[in-house]
Structure 1
Amino acid sequence: MDVHHIVIAGAGTMGYSMAQIFVQYNYQVTIYDLKEEGLLHAQKQIKENIQTLVEQQEITLKKANDMIQSLTYTTDKTYFKDCDLVIESIIENKDIKQSFYQEISHLVKDETILATNTSGISINALASSVHLPERFIGMHWFNPSHLILLIEIIKGDHTSDEVAQTIYQLSLDIHKKPVIVHKDVLGFAANRIQFAVLREALSLVEQGVVSKEGIDDVMKYGLGFRYACLGPLEVADFGGLDTFYHISEYLMPDLCDSHDIPTLLQQHYQNGEYGVKTQVGFYDYHNGKDLTVTKQRDDHLLKIYNALYKN
């Protein structure tokens, strides 16, 4: 299935980041949003990002101009009528997404692929609102999308193999690392692993076994450092499955297996402390620290990206 014109619904951080990547690889992209101010913000951010690429000599000035010319910003839904792929990246709310698909799936061509960037809402639940659900699929990107290579491709019960393979190849064409999730489960693969780690990490902090700083250091300087090079199954192979088997005998029964929201997470949420976005979460980000740590995160990710994946 050929993909040339892509409409990205939602001009937020993920939306405009995806748009920038696609135009860098010569796709025609339209960014749709309900609000004009959202589009203006996206346009400003993309131009700044493209200018940075020019200054870093990642692209030429001609390439930068071509990228800018390949982008359209609109609040007009008629642009959906002539596209090959829609990637929805609107608010993470099932009802709102379903309402979007009820309208848009009838507006686009029958052969247009519809993809959602949801982080974990059931693909089947969303597909129930889609006209011709065999062309509906999950395409889960990770923030910051210009540095994180993984894209999860999640099949619903009705998703055709042709659609899945088209999105898989498209991901390869923009130099991403796609993984097909063959069954629709909440959280897909990455978030299920991420929240299993978070559950055990918060349990250890709540029990006073280790400090919050300590648990983050365990991941950054131990597990995370290793996982940047090897997946968990590869780590087990290198460590020896006999060793992992014997550790499992005594450790698995002792791990946290609560089905409740972790207490520390619940407390911060109820206090309106959402992390960097509110300048306080598990850590304090006041007095400009939010900007400092965000830049530090991106700098570190860029160094890892350049060291492992640049070439």
Structure 2
Amino acid sequence: MRHEAVVVGAGTMGAGIAVLLGTRGMRVRLAARSAASLERARARVGTAVAFLAAEGRLTVAADAALAAIEPTTDVDTALAGADLVLEAVTEDVAVKRDVYRRIGERAPRSALVASTTSGLDVFAIAEAFPAPERLVVAHFWNPAYLVPLVEVVPGAATSPAILRETEALLRAWGCTPVTLARYVPGFIGVRLNTALYREALDLIDQGITDAAGIDAVMRDSIALRFPVVDAMGIVDFGGLDTFLRVWTQMYPEISAAREVPLRVREAVGQGALGVKAGRGFYDYGGRSADDLMRERDRRLARWLRERDRYRLGAPAETAMKRTKIGAPEFGMRTGAFSNAYGVEVGDAVIIHVAGHLAVDAAGTVVGGSDTAKQAEHIYGVIEKILAAAGATMDDVVKTTAYLSDIRDYPAVNQVRNRVFAGREPASTMVEVTKFVHPEAKIEIEAVAIRAK
């Protein structure tokens, strides 16, 4: 195990990584380029350690953590004694190239060298680095001492042993390494973020909504569901055929812009840089950047505590086994879309039964054109699938009806009331225009919770 680390670059990210390592038993030299940046780094480190202590997130004493982190401007001496080097300098190709020259000249040949770049091809930048087999990307997210994800990217020459050791070190520090097969600009996270913000900015530019509207939709729908079932898990829960229909409609509609919108460039030109300038998409009313960031970190720490308490386990090993159910014994034609999944959350199992077409074994739509009869049949199927998963209709906490005609909802609601005998699980209705089966009038989803 490596114990002597150097973080080259004492900005926000570098200081955050130094704090992470210092609180995880590593001795760290935080290399700053000037006396002024050294003092800023000391302040960042002290503030972060005090914050972690106040939040109960330190695994060592605060004094020990601070003693483990040594800010310095003597980069060459720091490199000479390191067995682990983390490069965290500004995203400037010339600056990084010079840093890798110094690392190659000063660091021991056995040192593991990791770049924290957020998307640059450091393997091309450091092409003259004398030991490319020891070079890897470890992209932390800010603040590094709170956000667990680290994207790990090997170069063409990176040793498999170095890659495995990098992953092991990150896990030992409490991080979540995600290793990419190869370098791609922006890795995973930045690419996903960029796609999201491109569409958000396009909606704002078109006057369809504003920043507050974007944030409300994210906060109270998309971001709300991600921690529960994950981004790709949401597709499984909703059904790939459902998402295929939606995506087929939406792919031609979403932004394919190749340039950053003018409003962003103008905002930067006017000094509206965000929190650090007091205004960006929002006006922060004169509050200091330090105050706003402390509040952000407190909220993030609280969320991490809740996540740790209720974190999802492995998919529940019920009769469903996360496979498609389309069984004649449930009154459904084989191959009809009828999905059910279970996930463990603490002491409970959440069961999601999704998207049924009321089609019998002969391929006939049950109930003909009568939406209420279709709904009765589908609820009967849901009851049988829940029973196979060890649950009952009494465990249902939410149902959602997808209708081809909004006018049918009162009839469906009457069926729902009969099925649940007056009990009131949460209910939502979504109007859609077309189902996979042309005669189907309704699809229903149900969410149930039972004890393990």
Bucket of the pairwise TM-score, normalised by the shorter protein: over 0.9
Counterpart residue number, 1:71: 69
Is 2:150 the partner of 1:151? yes
Deviation string 1:21-49 (CA, Å, 9 cap, x unpaired) is: 11211111111111122222222332343
User: For residues 1-311 of structure 1, what are the structure 2 equivalents within 5 Å?
Assistant: 2-59=1-58, 63-76=61-74, 77-288=76-287, 290-291=289-290, 293-309=292-308
Quick one: structure 1 residues 284 and 48, their matched pair in 2 at CA, closer, same or farther if it must change by over 3 Å? Answer: closer
* CA drift at 1:55: 4.6
* CA drift at 1:284: 1.5
Give the AA of the match of 2:120: I
Provide the secondary structure at the position in 2 that maps to 1:178: strand
Q: Is the 8 A contact 2:96 2:125 kept in 1?
A: yes
Quick one: structure 1 residues 55 and 195, their matched pair in 2 at CA, closer, same or farther if it must change by over 3 Å? Answer: closer
Q: Matches of 1:19 and 1:225 in 2, distance apart?
A: 31
More displaced, 137-146 or 193-202? Answer: 137-146
Provide the secondary structure at the position in 2 that maps to 1:25: coil
* CA drift at 1:259: 1.1
Provide the secondary structure at the position in 1 that maps to 2:91: coil
Provide the secondary structure at the position in 2 that maps to 1:154: strand
Q: Which runs of 5+ in 2 are unaligned?
A: 312-452
Give the AA of the match of 1:240: G
Q: Matches of 2:193 and 2:52 in 1, distance apart?
A: 31
Q: Matches of 1:246 and 1:57 in 2, distance apart?
A: 47
Q: Is the 8 A contact 2:218 2:224 kept in 1?
A: yes
Q: Is the 8 A contact 2:55 2:301 kept in 1?
A: no
Aligned residues: 309
Q: Which runs of 5+ in 1 are unaligned?
A: none
Superposition CA RMSD, Å = 2.0
Q: Is the 8 A contact 2:151 2:179 kept in 1?
A: yes
Quick one: structure 1 residues 46 and 207, their matched pair in 2 at CA, closer, same or farther if it must change by over 3 Å? Answer: same
Q: Is the 8 A contact 1:127 1:156 kept in 2?
A: no
Give the AA of the match of 1:111: S
Runs of 4+ residues over 6 Å off in structure 1: none
Quick one: structure 1 residues 59 and 154, their matched pair in 2 at CA, closer, same or farther if it must change by over 3 Å? Answer: closer
* CA drift at 1:223: 0.8
Provide the secondary structure at the position in 2 that maps to 1:34: coil
Q: Matches of 2:297 and 2:53 in 1, distance apart?
A: 18
* CA drift at 1:144: 1.6
Q: Matches of 1:208 and 1:44 in 2, distance apart?
A: 42
Q: Matches of 2:68 and 2:284 in 1, distance apart?
A: 37
TM-score of the aligned structures, taking structure 2 as reference length = 0.65
Q: Matches of 1:125 and 1:18 in 2, distance apart?
A: 24
* CA drift at 1:178: 0.8
* CA drift at 1:265: 1.8
User: Percent identity at matched positions?
Assistant: 28
Q: Matches of 1:68 and 1:48 in 2, distance apart?
A: 10
Provide the secondary structure at the position in 2 that maps to 1:261: coil
Where relative contact order (Cα < 8 A, 6+ residues apart) is larger, the structure is 1
Larger radius of gyration: 2
* CA drift at 1:54: 4.1
Q: Is the 8 A contact 1:30 1:79 kept in 2?
A: yes
Q: Is the 8 A contact 2:115 2:138 kept in 1?
A: yes
Provide the secondary structure at the position in 2 that maps to 1:288: coil
* CA drift at 1:213: 0.8
Q: Is the 8 A contact 2:5 2:83 kept in 1?
A: yes
Q: Is the 8 A contact 1:83 1:108 kept in 2?
A: yes
* CA drift at 1:286: 4.0
Q: Matches of 2:202 and 2:77 in 1, distance apart?
A: 50
Q: Is the 8 A contact 1:123 1:154 kept in 2?
A: no
Quick one: structure 1 residues 51 and 288, their matched pair in 2 at CA, closer, same or farther if it must change by over 3 Å? Answer: closer
Quick one: structure 1 residues 267 and 164, their matched pair in 2 at CA, closer, same or farther if it must change by over 3 Å? Answer: same
Q: Is the 8 A contact 2:278 2:285 kept in 1?
A: yes
* CA drift at 1:291: 4.9
Give the AA of the match of 1:275: G
Give the AA of the match of 1:72: E
Q: Matches of 2:253 and 2:55 in 1, distance apart?
A: 50
Q: Matches of 2:122 and 2:147 in 1, distance apart?
A: 22
